[in-house]
């Protein structure tokens, strides 16, 4: 799957643009606030009706304008899809696929996009809820019923926490039972997905030398594991029951899938505590590419990969590895970067030969 044509109108600082991106790697460079992040936020909005950054979708609309319009022409398994999205401040929003209005769930399934925003943060050093969201995105696209199970779990968890806050045991057994039942459905689908993800991640680690013969040892020695959120030697129901006194004191449920996490270690030491920023970014990228491979096994095509400021903290040695990994993924990628990386990437020669580069100059996006 890949975007053939992308048109945006009134997207923040972008008045109007149309591009025909590469089917593989597209890198957008430019000064700060030139429109790089906005460009890929627009693509993400066409998948989810929101930004991948913690901002309201209304902020995507250009100042002093009321309407943002986006149009994507997508090729997906030999099928041509037209996705139109219109974000309005004073009227209902519109989203259509092939001129037919659709729900956000259908939109997500029709244009699966995985997005990461780097800068000073990445999958490794972000809070655990970001890694759970990463897991849930992948799980949903492999097993769509996961979304329903997850919503049921969150709903019953809130009800149990409400009872705990009141300090009473009225209906507590009832809600504990439901939390355990829905929680196990969430856990089982997550675990199945994680096992597939770990297999692909290990495969990437094993063949890193094919992308760069001098990969740092800490990257090659990184391992990932799944932390389920309660004692692995107990059932979820038993763990919840045994934590009752603690939960009443805390006034919330302390055990369950809402405490799950992906653990990344090097020789049993947490990666975030001992690794460089460059290593953390490489591992984050490998997780995203592994997610794309799991998705491909299920669907026969890969999701669109959007990464904001990927090269932050990457040293020159690892820059070549990043480019080789992106090109080798065969997924359509949109990457933003400061303009100083333009010449650095060009200097990589053969490694960057399949990269299509765009640059924002004086408010206009130009293909380099």
* pLDDT tens digits along 57-115: 999 999 988 999 999 999 988 889 999 999 999 888 999 999 999 998 899 989 999 98
pLDDT in tens, 296-333: 999 999 999 999 988 877 877 788 888 889 998 999 99
pLDDT band at 121 (very low <50, low <70, confident <90, very high): low
Predicted TM-score of the model (pTM): 0.90
Contacts of 182 (CB under 8 A, 6+ apart): 149, 152, 153, 156
Residue 201 has pLDDT above 70, yes or no: yes
Give me the mean pLDDT over the 42-58 stretch.
Answer: 91
CA distance 242 to 228: 17
What pLDDT does 321 receive? 86
**pLDDT band, very low/low/confident/very high, at 119 (cuts 50, 70, 90):** low
302 CB neighbour count, 10 Å cutoff: 22
Rounded Cα gap, residues 231 and 35, in angstroms: 47
The kind and range of the H/E element at 334 are strand 333-338
User: For residue 152, is pLDDT > 70?
Assistant: yes
Helix, strand and coil content of the chain, in percent to the nearest 5, comes to 45, 25, 30
pLDDT, averaged across the chain = 90
CA pair distance 285, 234, nearest whole angstrom: 34
Q: Could you tell me which residue, 313 or 4, shows the higher pLDDT? A: 4
> pLDDT exceeding 70 applies to what percent of the chain?
98
Tell me what pLDDT residue 120 has. Answer: 59
pLDDT of the residue at 41: 94
* Structure confidence at residue 338 (pLDDT): 87
């Amino acid at each position: 799957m890949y975007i053939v044509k992308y048109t945006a109108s009134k997207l923040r600082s972008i008045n109007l643009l149309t591009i025909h991106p590469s089917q593989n790697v597209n890198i957008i460079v430019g000064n700060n606030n030139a429109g790089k992040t906005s460009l890929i936020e627009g693509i993400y909005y066409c998948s989810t009706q929101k930004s991948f950054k913690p901002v309201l979708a209304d902020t995507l609309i250009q100042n002093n304008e009321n309407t943002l319009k986006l149009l994507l022409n997508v090729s997906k398994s030999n099928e041509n899809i037209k996705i139109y999205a219109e974000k309005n401040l004073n009227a209902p929003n519109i989203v259509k696929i092939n001129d037919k209005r659709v729900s956000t769930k259908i939109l997500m399934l029709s244009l699966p996009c995985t997005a990461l925003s780097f800068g000073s943060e990445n999958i490794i050093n972000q809070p655990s809820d970001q890694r759970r969201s990463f897991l849930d995105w992948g799980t949903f696209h492999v097993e769509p019923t996961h979304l329903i199970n997850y919503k049921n779990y969150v709903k019953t968890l809130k009800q149990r926490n409400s009872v705990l806050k009141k300090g009473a045991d009225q209906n507590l057994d009832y809600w504990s039972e439901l939390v355990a039942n829905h929680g196990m459905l969430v856990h089982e689908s997550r675990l199945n997905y994680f096992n597939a993800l770990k297999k692909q991640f290990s495969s990437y680690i094993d063949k890193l030398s094919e992308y760069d013969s001098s990969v740092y040892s800490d990257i090659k020695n990184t391992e990932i594991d799944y932390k389920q959120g309660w004692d692995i030697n107990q059932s979820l129901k038993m763990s919840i029951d045994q934590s009752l006194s603690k939960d009443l004191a805390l006034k919330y449920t302390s055990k369950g899938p809402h405490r799950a996490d992906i653990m990344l270690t090097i020789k049993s030491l947490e990666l975030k505590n001992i690794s460089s920023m460059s290593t953390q970014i490489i591992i984050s990228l490998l997780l995203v590419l592994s997610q794309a491979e799991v998705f491909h096994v299920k669907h026969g095509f890969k999701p669109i990969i959007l990464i904001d400021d990927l090269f932050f903290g990457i040293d020159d040695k690892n820059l070549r590895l990043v480019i080789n990994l992106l090109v080798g993924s065969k997924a359509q990628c949109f990457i933003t970067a400061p303009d100083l990386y333009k010449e650095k990437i060009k200097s990589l020669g053969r490694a960057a030969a399949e990269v299509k580069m765009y640059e924002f100059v004086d408010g206009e996006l130009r293909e380099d």
